[in-house]
Amino acid sequence: MYFLSLEKLYEFLVDKADMPDFMEYNDGINLLPIPSIEYRDKIRGSLVGLAIGDAFGCHLEGQHTKELEYINDFLKTEKRSILLDITDDTEMTIMLAESLIVFQSFNPEDISNRFIKFPITKMGNTIREFITNHRDRRFEWYKSGVESAGNGAAMRCAPVALINYGDYISLKLMSGMQAAITHMDQMAIASSILHATTIAYLVNQPPYSIKGKEDVIQLIDTLSKSIRGIETNVYLSRETNEIVNLYSRISRQLKEAIEKDATLETIQQQWGSGGYSLESLPFALFVFLRNPNDFERVLKDSLTATDTDTVASMAITLAGAYLGYNNIPKGYTYKLRNLDEMLALSDRLFELSLKNKNNNPYRRLRDTISNEKLQDEVQQLLWTGIKLTKEEEYKKAVEYFESLIYKSPDLKKNDRIKLHIIEAYEGLGTKHLQEEDFYEALKAFKKALAYDLNHPVILSDLAITYLNLDDLEKAERYARRTVEVAPEYEIGREVLEAILSISRNK
């Protein structure tokens, strides 16, 4: 069944498994990757942060608040004097990540089988019941989920966010369906979608770019839209017995808590911070959004929660996604027994993310150009060039872009416009290449390269063109340069290997 498209799989689960129709209200959220962000570092930060929160939360669970700061400082400064182990939060995240990597796609049947096959530390009641249903009672995986609003669905959703940070539709489908495997409940599904959306949104934010309360409120308003309309059932707050759902807690109560500078103690009393999705995820969000630029403060505050390991895991996932791995104090990363495993998984997820064209910041910048009528002559030239490129009229597009630069040379410095010019020249060069007009292809690719000397696609195109001209020396030079500037670019590696193979056989 894994070969079904996400949309077909979704329809199947709604029809055959009575999964909540969570795509019915699909408010679009613009997840916009940008070229200046190091996405490998962000993905590493998210997964390593998740494991740090889980491991520290488990190790310090049950400690008194006054002792936490002292113990936490001790753990941080004593390098490698103690190694901390992960629990179910990280273990199930790893299982989900490994399935995505192995199949290069979302395979819920394989994910389900991993959940029943591999040992899980500190297993919750919902997961235990799911395993009983699927493994012992032999229920189909899509009929084994439990009607539970526990936080087990949200705690493991990070990998689907990290391969869809520019593709909100795929993110929402995957995060909702991965939740339904074990938690066939509206709030649990909403919690997974909300947490995944938050992770992806933060991955696209430069570190330390959230400057004040206004930015935080805007973030809450944006994220709330991801779960609007999903919850139609009635849920009760365990602390106050009021009728509330995750959407109202985030869109209204979380925003009020930030605006009024509520204390941790107040929010714990009002919301709780246990294993209920209505408690743990909102509390983790509150902890992070109070001090988004302070990794250590987020960790220490999250350790005050009742469900310490899961709240800390979710809060530090957000901190790591926002700040990146290189901004996590190394005293914390040194304590992870499975640090190397988390880094390796992160790198594989990064490579998988590159296969989704919507995660490509260059392509997304092009697609977000406004379609408004352009009055200025220079703007009209730009729009016409973009339009012709989309229509694959590359030769005409290049003529318009050349006129644009002639009339306004300063536009050469505009990164967004440069991307469009490069795309037009690259399209023209590719067309010449297909027609075996290699010298004209060479001219087009070199003009594209003049706008970005480190553009991996153009460097690879030049290597292929020189290969067709039997100039192996230049072909190898450009291929090596491609691999140097973008080692994750698979086509570049394949071109270099092909050139080296030809050189050896000559």
| Chosen domain end from 327, 356, 385 | 356
pLDDT at 489 over 70: yes
pLDDT for 154-168, tens place per residue? 999 999 999 999 999
151 in the same domain as 234: yes
Mean pLDDT of 363-387: 60
Contact assessment for residue 281 and residue 314, using Cβ atoms and an 8 Å cutoff? yes
203 in the same domain as 144: yes
pLDDT, greater one: 349 or 418: 349
- Percent of the chain at pLDDT > 90 equals 65
Is 98 within the bounds of a domain?
yes
Q: How far apart are alpha carbons 88 and 92 in whole angstroms?
A: 6
Q: How far apart are alpha carbons 224 and 285 in whole angstroms?
A: 12
Is 10 within the bounds of a domain?
no
| pLDDT for position 400 | 83
State which residues form the domain around 342. Answer: 38-356
345 in the same domain as 388: no
397 in the same domain as 325: no
CATH assignment of the domain containing 154: 1.10.4080.10
pLDDT at 403 over 90: no
pLDDT at 64 over 50: yes
pLDDT for 352-363, tens place per residue? 999 998 998 876
| Chosen domain end from 340, 356, 372 | 356
Q: How far apart are alpha carbons 256 and 274 in whole angstroms?
A: 21
| pLDDT for position 62 | 62
Cβ neighbours of residue 138 closer than 8 Å, sequence gap 6 or more: none
365 in the same domain as 352: no
Residue 87 marked as a ligand binder: yes
| pLDDT for position 373 | 37
| pLDDT for position 80 | 59
335 in the same domain as 367: no
255 in the same domain as 345: yes
Q: How far apart are alpha carbons 247 and 251 in whole angstroms?
A: 6
Mean pLDDT of 60-84: 64
Which of 271-275, 285-289, 471-475 is predicted most confidently?
A: 285-289
Residue 310 marked as a ligand binder: yes
| Chosen domain end from 325, 356, 387 | 356
401 in the same domain as 430: yes
Residue 215 marked as a ligand binder: no
109 in the same domain as 189: yes
Is 108 within the bounds of a domain?
yes
Indicate the average pLDDT of the chain.
Answer: 89
- The angle at the Cα of 331, spanning 325 to 336, to the nearest 5 degrees, equals 75
pLDDT, greater one: 409 or 19: 19
265 in the same domain as 185: yes
Is 138 within the bounds of a domain?
yes
Is 396 within the bounds of a domain?
yes
Q: How far apart are alpha carbons 195 and 415 in whole angstroms?
A: 32
| pLDDT for position 19 | 96
Counted domains in the chain: 2
Is 220 within the bounds of a domain?
yes
Residue 85 marked as a ligand binder: no
Is 7 within the bounds of a domain?
no
Residue 307 marked as a ligand binder: yes
CATH assignment of the domain containing 393: 1.25.40.10
| pLDDT for position 319 | 98
| pLDDT for position 67 | 58
| pLDDT for position 492 | 83
Residue 121 marked as a ligand binder: no
pLDDT at 254 over 90: yes
341 in the same domain as 406: no
159 in the same domain as 236: yes
